[in-house]
Chain A
């Protein structure tokens, strides 16, 4: 297990550079958008990874609520945090792509809005974890994660209704993907998934270490106060 981490790190680095080469050189240039369309190979895999991490957060939170297992709590925290990072990437690259293609930075499109709302929900989740007092954090956070997951379909439908009433420039959708593009997309997704696993793993170890240090500190405080008397 000790060697698995460096192996994964090397694999991720290789995959990421290969995916970058594929995205910039191998993938065909899109007919109407030109080279700018290559943002797609970073934007979409990041979005999928973020959604997958949020799903992981939900599953881990439910496991925590049932079993009260510390590991599940750490997994929930880590996946939410890394998910927010990937979601931020999506929200930053999205407008950079939209500007040259549609001439606008932002539009209240279904997918964009859904991503933004998810980002807001999970940032509030991380805020709660930061602000609540130590002993109750995992439980409160797990409950909030369940509420956030309940909210997602409602957010989806509300934005969908909203869109049907306030039509805006039709974006993407329809049209089939060139199979070569699809292949490059999948390679990029695999690379980013590996990267996400790597980051989560490191963050998981840091969190474990942090909890141990904090516990020991509390313990030393207690021992000292007893020993002093």
Chain B
């Protein structure tokens, strides 16, 4: 009995997005599609424990949900509902979700630039990730009603402003795809800083982002940036066990115990990097993944190929210029040309509110023997750092300065 109930929960998490996207073809309305799928899961929760789990649970859910939606339209059409009649006419379109096209359309709708960013994130996690409103709320440290409101407002906008369910084509695709990948990466980064804060309830976000990213990469095999983002996240995730020490304090890359890195994630990440780079359509995520790949293949921090990393940052600066990229490039520059050269670059950046800017500056000053200035910068960084793990690390650096 318990195992059937667990199965319902697992199938919900795994199949919810696919089911909604397929039923959406019948309902043409996201709210109605979700209702139908939720009803189907309610039936499953009631029947599976006694009747057994069907052979293809996901297919069962879709069939049941679609039947519910059609029944509802029949009832409404009998009462003269014009929309319901139109929906029944559309019904003949019964092809299964062979190419995942339905999910892709749904993903592009959830990440439409006309929706507020927070709403895109919540919608993607709920509709495609199969997370509950309560799970999303605890992941982003906001109230459940806030999440529910964001989602229902977004759904109303999709419906009333007629945001189309389609995969953008041609010239539109690059910008729209970038918006989708940005949402996925934001979810990952939110989970990453939660991990550093030892907030276990939020840690699921990283695996959600990776799962979404796998779906996107699978559905858009001709877009190497999708694989680039997946590789970037896998390589970052491979260091999860190595990047925090006692009481969750951050351990920087150079000081990590590389034997703790996850070899399977690294090997998957590296083969993705190689595969997407071979296409010769470079993009920001691929370059960032390539930079991580250089770190992942270095046997020790000292043997890191910083010339190669600097070259990749040069390419990234060309492709996606911005102060944050310049800052990261300066870290590589310090290894190649020394901290003084890097500091001159960093001093020109206007990133006063970004904790990493102060942390990088502090580190360069420390290496130049300017301990007092370094301590001030570490303190600024600690004040702005979003996670407890980063704050703990920065405060330890200040203490270490005092001792030297």
Q: Do A and B come from one complex?
A: no
Report B's interface with A, CB cutoff 8 A. Answer: none
Report A's interface with B, CB cutoff 8 A. Answer: none
